């Protein structure tokens, strides 16, 4: 099982691995000594942007090379397969099957067909927003008959961990009802569907039994959680403290927040609840009102700065990160200057900078006022350089402060001991490097003092290893 793309795809792969294991399939670790030869290589693809598509194609081709030597079959699943289906199958004959999300419940049977030489017909894409009612309140009943990856929770059957990290993504919801002009995700992930709170809580408890100390709640839009449930959008406000109370779980992190939907009660519960990371992954995308309106989004420099101020009033050391898109059709030099002004004033902990490119089926692909590719690249370089400087300054602001670090990599001859503080999400926000000779193990939660910085990374000195459960309470006022 090879996984491309985001943490949501990681959850989907672990669900698929659970389904397959429960149906008699065995997962093979090709990197392990004495590993067996696979019968099937399943590639969970990403279809978000052009580079992600290319990475998925390259992985499928590499898998085909392995399969040529071993006789294995190559099966494409995931977002690229769902989005392009038969078109992908035609252009990539190296894949023995291209299966969409609707094949997930019966994947074991489908793989058996492939092995038997009877590959199923390639998936034919549809706009998955048409599969569920427009009204969110009517979706829970209808969703029973629609494949929603990552939502089939049955303890010890529907998920197999593919990582031994002390953190794990946990799916909160799937799909999106927003209509951002640059984004194709709703068309192939479908309308927004929340998972029932008891499923989220049960899976979190199961994950702690697998050694997980931090769960990262993932979705396309976490601030919409509950809009299709009886409790409404307050559901996340109620769910977070319940998750923080799960025995053995020391940190709960929420990702993918829409700034326009962050209500005061949600802001407060994230910023002040012991065991919930004071961490805000805010999808700003830009700060110029003119660009945001063309993107079919909301907000402005002033509104976004006010949101950052309100967060820091509640939790001064809170982590705030975002992504921005430059070169959107119609973006002017003044718009870029306004974005620079916002980033300089906001002092975010981490920012991803992306250059706009047309995506199939999106509204923005038909816009006029396209910015030349070379100018898009120049703006990316300009904003990225500013962001690097600002992230370095923000890290330096933490010198001498206490942070609670979840150790992910123990020290050995080749690697330093590394982990993440509360303001750092996995893989995207920098890390903490602990002093050599600390003797710490992966999974330890450690109270540390920041002694140095390197870019967005922190160099920290351990002070105390915190016990499970008590750790969340001890770390709440520290970082």
- The torsion angles phi and psi of 57, rounded to 5 degrees, stand at -60, -45
* Residue 111 near residue 25, CB atoms below 8 Å: yes
- The torsion angles phi and psi of 123, rounded to 5 degrees, stand at -60, 135
409 forms beta bridges with: 418
Burial class (CB in 10 A: 0-12, 13-18, 19+), 3: buried
- The torsion angles phi and psi of 261, rounded to 5 degrees, stand at -110, 5
* Residue 329 near residue 368, CB atoms below 8 Å: yes
Q: Which residues are annotated as a binding site for [4Fe-4S] cluster?
A: 6, 46, 79, 176, 180, 183
Q: Which of 451, 454, 453 is nearest to 462 (CA)?
A: 451
CB-hemisphere CA count at 13 Å for 279?
27
Q: Which residues are annotated as a binding site?
A: 6, 46, 79, 176, 180, 183
* Residue 319 near residue 278, CB atoms below 8 Å: yes
State the Cα–Cα distance between residues 80 and 98, nearest whole angstrom. Answer: 9
Q: Which three-class secondary structure string do you get for 21-75?
A: HHCCCCCCCCCCCCCCCCCEEEEEECCCCHHHHHHHHHHHHHHHHHHHHHCCEEE
Burial class (CB in 10 A: 0-12, 13-18, 19+), 168: buried
Tokens of 365: 């692909």
Characterize the bridge pairing of strands 73-78 and 97-98. parallel
Q: Please give the radius of gyration of the chain, using alpha carbons only, rounded to the nearest integer.
A: 22
Characterize the bridge pairing of strands 457-466 and 432-434. parallel
Q: DSSP states of 248-260 as a string?
A: T--EEEE--B-GG
Q: DSSP states of 129-141 as a string?
A: GGGS-SSGGGHHH
State the Cα–Cα distance between residues 174 and 189, nearest whole angstrom. Answer: 7
Contacts of 58 (CB under 8 A, 6+ apart): none
């Amino acid at each position: 099982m090879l996984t491309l793309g985001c943490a949501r795809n990681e959850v989907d792969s672990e669900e698929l691995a659970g389904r397959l294991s429960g149906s008699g399939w065995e997962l093979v670790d090709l990197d392990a000594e004495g590993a067996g030869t696979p019968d099937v290589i399943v590639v969970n693809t990403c279809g978000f942007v052009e580079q992600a598509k290319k990475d998925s194609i390259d992985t499928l081709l590499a898998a085909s090379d392995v399969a040529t030597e071993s006789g294995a079959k190559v099966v494409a699943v995931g977002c690229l397969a769902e989005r392009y289906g038969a078109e992908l199958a035609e252009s990539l004959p190296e894949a023995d099957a291209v299966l969409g999300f609707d094949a997930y419940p019966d994947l074991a049977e489908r793989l058996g067909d492939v092995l038997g030489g009877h590959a199923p017909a390639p998936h034919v894409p549809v706009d998955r927003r048409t599969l569920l009612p427009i009204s969110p309140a009517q979706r829970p009943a209808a969703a029973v008959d629609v494949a929603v990856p990552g939502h089939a929770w049955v303890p010890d059957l529907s998920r197999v961990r593919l990582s031994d990290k002390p953190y794990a993504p946990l799916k909160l919801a799937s799909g999106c009802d927003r209509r951002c002009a640059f984004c194709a995700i709703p068309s192939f992930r479908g309308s927004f569907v929340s998972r029932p709170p008891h499923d989220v809580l049960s899976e979190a408890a199961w994950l702690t039994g697998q050694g997980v100390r931090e769960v990262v709640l993932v979705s396309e839009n976490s601030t919409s959680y509950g809009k299709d449930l009886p409790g409404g959008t307050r559901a996340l406000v109620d769910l977070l403290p319940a998750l923080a109370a799960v025995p053995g779980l020391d940190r709960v992190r929420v990702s993918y927040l829409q700034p326009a939907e962050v209500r005061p009660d949600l802001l407060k519960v994230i910023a002040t609840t012991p065991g919930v990371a004071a961490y805000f992954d805010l999808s700003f995308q830009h700060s110029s009102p003119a660009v945001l309106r063309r993107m079919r989004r909301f907000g402005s420099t002033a509104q976004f700065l006010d949101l950052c101020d309100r967060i820091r009033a509640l939790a001064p050391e809170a982590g705030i990160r975002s992504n921005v898109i430059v070169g959107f059709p119609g973006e002017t030099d003044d718009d870029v200057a306004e974005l620079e002004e916002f980033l300089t004033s906001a002092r975010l902990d981490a920012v991803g900078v992306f250059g706009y490119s047309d995506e199939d089926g999106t509204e923005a692909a038909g816009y006029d006022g396209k910015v030349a590719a070379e100018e898009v690249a120049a703006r990316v370089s300009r904003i990225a350089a500013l962001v690097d400087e600002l992230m370095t300054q923000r890290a330096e602001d933490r010198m001498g402060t206490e942070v609670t670090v979840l150790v992910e990599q123990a020290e050995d001859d080749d690697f330093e001991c590394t982990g993440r503080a509360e303001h750092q999400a996995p893989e995207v926000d920098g890390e903490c490097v602990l002093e050599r000779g600390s003797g710490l193990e992966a999974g330890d939660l450690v109270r540390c003092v920041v002694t140095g910085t390197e870019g967005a990374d922190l160099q920290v000195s351990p002070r105390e290893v915190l016990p499970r459960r008590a750790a969340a309470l001890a770390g709440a006022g520290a970082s």
